[in-house]
Amino acid sequence: MREILELLERDARLTPEQIAGMTGLPVQQITSRIADWENTGVIRRYKAVVDWDKVAEETGEDVVSAFIDVSVHPARGTGFDDVAARISRFSEVRAVYLVSGTDDVRCTVVGRNIRKVAEFVAQKLSTIDRVQGTVTHFVLKTYKRDGDSFLEPDADHRLPVAP
C-alpha cells in the first residue's frame, strides 16, 4: 500500500485507474484505500508544487522564504509541543519541525520581503513564552523542494543518429 501513497505524493492527479495500471492492484481496492486514508488523515490534502521564482519573474511579485531555527526552553509535561503548535498557527509559517542539534525547532516562513520576515521574527516569534532565541536563514535560490527539481534540464548535445 505504500506504493500507492508514494505515487500520489509524486503526482496527486493520478486517477485510481492509472494507479491500478502501475501497481497491478484492483481499481476498487485503490479507491477504497484512498478514501480510508483521506478520512483518517493519512492523506492530509492534495497540492501543486509552485516555482515561486518563475511567478515573480512573470508578475514582479516577490516572495521571500526563510528557515528559522528557534531555541525553546522545554516545559514539564509538554516539552516543545505547545510552542511548536503556537508557531504553527501563524499564517506566515509553512512548516514546523522538532529537530536535533543546537536549536530545538526549525520553521519555514514566507513573506513579501525581507522586512516582513524580520517583523514576523521580532514581533511574533520572539515574543512567544519560552522562546530563548532565533537564527534566520534566508533562502537565496531553490534547487529542489518537495522532491521536485527547480533546475532547468540540460540541453541534449548528442548527435542525431540516422537509421
Q: Residue 77's domain is classified under what CATH number? A: 3.30.70.920
Q: Domain for residue 18, yes or no?
A: yes
Res 25 pLDDT > 90: yes
Average confidence (pLDDT) over 2-10: 92
Shared-domain flag, residues 15 and 73: no
Can you give the pLDDT at residue 151?
Answer: 87
Shared-domain flag, residues 25 and 65: no
pTM over cut 0.85: no
Residues 75 and 67: their CA atoms lie apart, in Å, by 24
**Residue 145 belongs to what H/E stretch?**
strand 144-145
Q: Domain for residue 122, yes or no?
A: yes
CA 122, chain centre distance (Å): 23
Can you give the pLDDT at residue 1?
Answer: 83
Q: Domain for residue 21, yes or no?
A: yes
Residue 36: CB partners within 8 Å, gap ≥ 6? 42
The closest alpha carbon to 50, from 148, 136, 123, belongs to 148
Shared-domain flag, residues 62 and 33: no
Q: 31 near 25, Cβ under 8 Å?
A: no
Report the range of poorest mean pLDDT among 12-21, 85-94, 124-133, 153-162.
Answer: 153-162
Shared-domain flag, residues 63 and 123: yes
Q: How many domains does the chain have?
A: 2
Alpha helices in the chain (DSSP H): 2-10, 16-23, 27-40, 52-59, 81-88, 114-119
Res 26 pLDDT > 90: yes
Q: 19 near 118, Cβ under 8 Å?
A: no
Shared-domain flag, residues 7 and 61: no
Q: Domain for residue 70, yes or no?
A: yes
Shared-domain flag, residues 36 and 114: no
pLDDT band at 49; cut points 50, 70, 90: confident
Can you give the pLDDT at residue 115?
Answer: 96
Can you give the pLDDT at residue 130?
Answer: 95
* Mean of all residue pLDDT scores within the chain: 91
Average confidence (pLDDT) over 71-80: 92
Can you give the pLDDT at residue 60?
Answer: 81
**Residue 24 sits in which domain range?**
2-40
Shared-domain flag, residues 25 and 97: no
Residue 20: CB partners within 8 Å, gap ≥ 6? 26, 27, 30
Residues 90 and 127: their CA atoms lie apart, in Å, by 13
The closest alpha carbon to 105, from 127, 77, 119, 86, belongs to 86
Shared-domain flag, residues 35 and 65: no
Res 88 pLDDT > 90: yes
Shared-domain flag, residues 69 and 95: yes
